[in-house]
Structure 1
């Protein structure tokens, strides 16, 4: 009974926030107001709160621009938690645009949808990413190219860092800062989550969405750690594969430490 009541209150609160913020976001997108960068953060914070997702931040986001965040990808929840702590936009595969619910919200956040199989269109999309980074926007890349089970970092695709190379032409100082970010789902009801329970948060491709959503909503008490690592400077003479490997190593190290309960024992809660 309490669970259904909580879900009902959450639905009402999220719907009310959406009725206020989504029309403003639509107007901001229509006229390309800078407000479009900031509104999603407030909506995502409200959603995380009512879904019972507590976001802990370890480290600091790089202050220099242009900035690209490269993060491991375990779930659609990654979008919620990253957007709740920073004004970011996402680089997503083209299929996401047509997904129910998630595709709509991705468009509302002005994500860049990349068609990797069509090189001509990919070039245009990479140019858009470069222009927006040069304009001060923070772009988020999931270099694994897919979601994992949340217990490890999958192989990182160095080709996806091409957007950082393209942004160099418009970057002040001829440098783009690529910061590794680890997203670790660590606790459920305040206790260590472990490999067995992590699929409640993680959403690898072989798990159907509806059962996954039901399990998440029924839970209502998940802690996620967001770790910001040392940024890597991408310059004209940088080797893309070397940058990719360095970023991957730093993500892997941070992710492993958080999943094993090591590192800062009292990360701050965002918001």
Structure 2
């Protein structure tokens, strides 16, 4: 997908051989595609994204783990799904600011 858009990526060093937790700020949709292009990844996203036109369907097809942030008990299910991803060797990506930003500052983390 990135090549089609004319985006070139490069990786310095070796990607991890087994799953890792990646915590990152979220600059836009391209960072999701970039991370997914270099590592087997699963993303954690707020449940509302599942209902978004186009992007929600794409996220679900990619195996995104959706969390209902209004239900504290949903955390247990999400942690189990993350554990299964790690067991498969996938990296799990979390954007704790819970929104995309311009990257100039770190916003408060959401739970």
TM bucket normalised to smaller: 0.7 to 0.9
For 2:105 and 2:16, locate their aligned partners in 1 and report how far apart those are by CA, in whole Å. Answer: 22
Correspondence list, 1:19-98, <5 A: 47-63=1-17, 65-98=18-51
Q: Offset of 1:149 from its aligned partner?
A: 1.4
Q: Where in structure 1 are there 5+ consecutive unaligned residues?
A: 1-46, 161-271
Alpha-carbon separation, structure 2, partners of 1:95 and 1:79: 17
Per-residue CA distance 1:138-193 (angstroms, 9 max, x = gap):
1111122211013x242352x75xxxxxxxxxxxxxxxxxxxxxxxxxxxxxxxxx
Partner of 2:67: 114
* Structure with more of its chain in strand, by fraction: 1
Q: Which has the higher helix share?
A: 1
Of the three residues 59, 78, 82, the one matched with 1:125 is: 78
TM-score, scaled to structure 1: 0.38
Cα deviation, 1:48-92, whole Å, max 9, x if unaligned, reads 1111112232343333x4411112211011111111111111111
TM-score after normalising by structure 2:
0.85
Q: Report which of the two structures shows the higher radius of gyration computed on alpha carbons.
A: 1
- Do 2:19 and 2:92's aligned partners in 1 also have CA atoms closer than 8 Å? no
SS state of the match for residue 9, structure 2?
A: strand
Q: 2:96 aligns with which of 140, 143, 151?
A: 143
Compare relative contact order (CA 8 Å, sep 6+) and give the higher one, 1 or 2.
2
Contact kept in structure 1, 2:9 and 2:34, CA below 8 Å:
yes
Number of residue pairs aligned between Structure 1 and Structure 2: 111
Question: Equivalences for 1:83-232 in 2 at 5 Å?
Answer: 83-150=36-103, 152-155=104-107, 157=109
User: Separation in 1 of the partners of 2:86 and 2:80?
Assistant: 10
Q: Distance in 1 between matches of 2:25 and 2:13?
A: 16
- Distance in 1 of aligned mates of 2:15 and 2:108: 21
Task: Tell me the distance in 2 between the aligned counterparts of 1:55 and 1:135.
Answer: 25
Q: Distance in 2 between matches of 1:154 and 1:94?
A: 22
Give 1:103 deviation, angstroms.
0.8
